Amino acid sequence: MLTEYLPLSGEKVADCLIKREGLLCKNWSYDYGVVWRGMEMLYALTGDKRYFDFILNALDGMINEEGNPAGYSREAYNLDYLCIGRQLIYLYRQTEKEKYKRASALLRSQLENQPRTSDGGFWHKKVYPFQMWLDGQHMAIPFYLQYDAAFGPDEKAQNDAAKQLILAYRHTLNPDTGLPCHGWDEKKQQIWADPQTGRAAHAWGRAVGWYMVALVDSLELLQEENQQYSEVLEIFKMLSEKLLSIRQDGVWLQVMDCPGRIGNYLESSGSCLITYAILKGARLGLLPGEYGMQAQKSFESLQRHFLGQMKNGEYFIAKCCQGAGLGGYTGRDGSFDYYISENVNSRDLKATGAYIQAACEEQLLREGRRGYGR
């Protein structure tokens, strides 16, 4: 890993990803959305059209003229599928091609019939009944609000989006640790669910990272006059303070609530997501400026712990948990042993995209810029 600070690292990592991966067009996959979001930011930051074209050329082939996305199924009611919706809105605004507007409307229509818990929280997927996961907040809620901003306004959508963020926090928060757990089962029947609270046992780093990004990206889009805005903001502030206080050498653990436990490790994707969220929160004035400075130190730690370079010059992000979930597959019981048993890899799209996003925010702070306008 790097021992000295690398400037303009977002561009360097993105250029290596483009060369290594080619167009991302094999699946309708949320990790593509994480990368493309980083490319959006780089294009706004640098004006280099290659980053815009990387999104356009992939999605242009995945969306037909009727606006039907290849590989998307509305009937699956899978919140993960909505992550790419933000790029559909972005491309419509950039190109004015109707197929992107139609495709984003199709994804938005999923939320009209998304199954819900008894108090109105979105199920993470149809195949995961009565379950809210932190992951789903990132996948769905910023898209929900971005669609409203582009084609609204819709007070009902604003209220519902804020409600999802609040319910996810209330249901997953472990008051003993001050951290939200990975998920919550309303029926308290899943193998991973506490029989009294329905909560999962642990705070998984990437899930907390997903939620932090959901909060800050949603606060940027949520109308301040919304009566739930202040509660969402307070959640973001409390979690930012808590997360900064539990860093390990500037970054975060795979299982956040088990420091010092044998087998736990510093994990890149969650660390990148959280760093991005706090950097952005400080830039937007949602958090004290000191938090931004602390997150900048965390970014430097990201480079030290996770940013590597091959002899051929290729930059990559290491130490990413390949994937973790709750139930659905054998062994996914939400235990500490489960989380540390999942594969750890390098060049993962989730960690790489999250790093690019964090790098863009860090560059703005380092250059004293308040926004992405050139």
- Pick the closest to residue 143 from 71, 63, 57, 85 (CA basis): 85
Over residues 83-125, the pLDDT tens digits come to 999 999 999 999 999 999 999 999 999 999 999 999 999 999 9
- Does residue 178 register a pLDDT over 80? yes
Over residues 267-297, the pLDDT tens digits come to 999 999 999 999 999 999 999 999 999 999 9
Query: What's the gap between Cα 54 and its chain centre?
Result: 20
Burial (CB count <10 Å: 0-12, 13-18, 19+), residue 230:
exposed
Question: Would 3 be classed as within a structural domain?
Answer: no
Question: Would 90 be classed as within a structural domain?
Answer: yes
Q: What letter would DSSP give residue 349?
A: H
Question: Would 134 be classed as within a structural domain?
Answer: yes
Question: Would 2 be classed as within a structural domain?
Answer: no
Query: Could you tell me if 134 and 208 are in contact, meaning their C-beta atoms sit under 8 angstroms apart?
Result: yes
Phi and psi, residue 174, nearest 5°: -95, 110
Question: Would 106 be classed as within a structural domain?
Answer: yes
The beta strand positions in 34-177, using DSSP E, are 131-133, 173-174
Q: What is the mean pLDDT of residues 182-192?
A: 97
Cis peptide before 7 (omega within 30 of 0): no
Question: Would 4 be classed as within a structural domain?
Answer: no
- Does residue 374 register a pLDDT over 60? no
Over residues 93-104, the pLDDT tens digits come to 999 999 999 999
Query: Could you tell me if 171 and 236 are in contact, meaning their C-beta atoms sit under 8 angstroms apart?
Result: no
- Pick the closest to residue 247 from 317, 304, 328, 184 (CA basis): 304
Question: Would 220 be classed as within a structural domain?
Answer: yes
- Does residue 330 register a pLDDT over 80? no
CATH number where 329 lies: 1.50.10.10
Q: C-alpha distances in angstroms, 234 versus 48, 219, 270, 313?
A: 37, 11, 21, 43
Q: Which residues are catalytic?
A: 135
Question: Would 374 be classed as within a structural domain?
Answer: no
Residue whose structure tokens are 């990272």 = 209
Can you give the pTM of this predicted structure? Answer: 0.98
Residues spanned by the domain of 349 = 9-367
Whole-angstrom distance between the N-terminal and C-terminal Cα of the chain? 32
How many domains does the chain fold into? Answer: 1
